């Protein structure tokens, strides 16, 4: 899955200023603008996005793995769901189709996601599934 405009959802914790864009009228040439939301290219943007996504996933009931902060686990007595995040791409798997769809709907409501279907490539890895196995190659 891909999160649409992931970096544009977040508010900035730090004060960030920039020169006005061409065509934007300001009283004097020395005026600057303070950003209220993230902008592509800012150093803080990916960190703010990660904080926001992690918080939302944990509020939904996912536990963040202590050894790999990109991995989130949600388990109940009858289902297991794992979610792996790389920047604004999400790899989601579950042994329950109902839980899988519920997580997708929840994420789409929060962020607007594009479901890319069954994973074939993720982070430079190629994945091929059969009825009983998953083959991962680089």
> Could you give the percent of the chain with pLDDT greater than 90?
34
Question: How far apart, in Å, do the first and last CA atoms of the chain sit?
Answer: 20
What is the three-class DSSP state of 108?
helix
Given pLDDT bands bounded at 50, 70 and 90, which one contains residue 44? confident
Q: List the alpha helices (DSSP H) in 29-121.
A: 43-60, 97-111
85-118 confidence digits (pLDDT tens) = 988 889 999 999 999 999 999 999 988 888 888 8
Please tell me the predicted confidence (pLDDT) of residue 82. Answer: 95
0.85 exceeded by the pTM? no
CB contact burial 35-49 (16+ within 10 A = b; e otherwise) = eeebeeebebbbebb
């Amino acid at each position: 899955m891909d999160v649409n405009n992931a970096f544009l959802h977040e508010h900035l914790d730090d004060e960030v200023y920039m020169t006005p864009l061409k065509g934007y009228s300001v009283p004097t040439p020395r005026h600057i603008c303070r950003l209220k939301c993230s902008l592509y290219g800012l150093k803080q943007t990916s960190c703010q996005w990660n904080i926001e996504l992690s918080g939302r996933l944990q509020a939904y009931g996912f536990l963040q793995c202590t050894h790999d902060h990109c991995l989130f686990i949600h388990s109940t007595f009858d289902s297991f769901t794992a979610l792996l995040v790389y920047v604004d791409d999400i790899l989601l798997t579950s042994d329950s189709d109902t839980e899988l769809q519920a997580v997708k709907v929840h994420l789409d409501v929060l962020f607007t996601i594009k479901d890319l279907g069954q994973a074939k490539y993720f982070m430079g890895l190629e994945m091929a599934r059969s009825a009983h196995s998953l083959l991962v190659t680089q």
